[in-house]
């Protein structure tokens, strides 16, 4: 993974999230944590599933002219939110893993927690894409792994999603 092999000046990057996996709180005095990001992804995934099930109009709530337009917009916003949560999770995790001041025991616990949580979320996300969900907004923006394009006949549609590929690569890295 290129992110790991690159030299990194840790002083340039702050910790934005606490190294905790507890249920998020909305107390302004408590720092957001990895648990906050994971919960946000989980809520967004659940909302995507609910949007697919709902047939009632939501256009008035979001001020859009058609139901289809409203659903498309909300799905796009939810995908955007999930993607950014994954990017933050991965970048902050790498920041913690590269920091010599973080105790090895804490790093190991973080790896175990992230591996477990991200694997579960990837499972749900893959199921969502298998049901014919819209592609991630990052599709076509992120390069394919090792510069190779995989034939659609060889891989399932959900494994073609750049977001899923990125998170899978990160999970493989932390499982080492």
40 Cβ contact partners less than 8 Å away, ≥ 6 residues apart:
24, 81, 82, 85
In this structure, how many other beta carbons lie within 10 angstroms of the beta carbon of residue 110?
20
Distance (Å, rounded) from C-alpha 89 to C-alpha 71?
Answer: 27
Distance (Å, rounded) from C-alpha 114 to C-alpha 91?
Answer: 12
Burial-class residue 44 by CB neighbours within 10 Å (0-12, 13-18, 19+): buried
Q: What is the pTM of this model?
A: 0.74
92-130 confidence digits (pLDDT tens):
999 999 999 999 999 999 999 999 999 999 999 988 888
Spatial CA neighbour of 174 closest among 82, 87, 108, 128 = 108
Cβ contact 174:116 at 8 Å: no
25-43 confidence digits (pLDDT tens):
777 788 899 999 999 999 9
Where are the alpha helices (H) located in 30-66, listed in sequence order? Answer: 34-53, 59-62
149 pLDDT band, cuts 50/70/90, is very low
């Amino acid at each position: 993974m290129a992110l790991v092999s690159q030299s990194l000046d840790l002083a340039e990057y702050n910790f934005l999230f606490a190294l905790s996996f507890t249920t998020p709180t909305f107390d302004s005095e408590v720092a957001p944590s990895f648990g906050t990001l994971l919960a946000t992804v989980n809520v967004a995934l659940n909302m995507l599933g609910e949007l697919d099930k709902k047939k009632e109009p939501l256009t008035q709530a979001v001020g859009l002219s058609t139901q289809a337009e409203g659903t498309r917009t909300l799905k796009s916003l939810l995908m955007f939110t999930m993607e950014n949560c994954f990017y933050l999770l991965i970048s902050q995790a790498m920041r913690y893993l590269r920091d010599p001041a973080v105790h090895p025991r804490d790093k190991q616990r973080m790896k175990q927690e992230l591996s477990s949580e991200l694997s579960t979320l990837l499972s749900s996300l893959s199921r969502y894409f298998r049901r014919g969900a819209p592609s991630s907004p990052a599709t076509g923006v992120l390069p394919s792994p090792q510069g190779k394009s995989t034939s659609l006949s060889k891989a399932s549609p959900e494994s073609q999603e750049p977001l899923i590929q990125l998170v899978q690569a990160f999970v493989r890295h932390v499982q080492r």
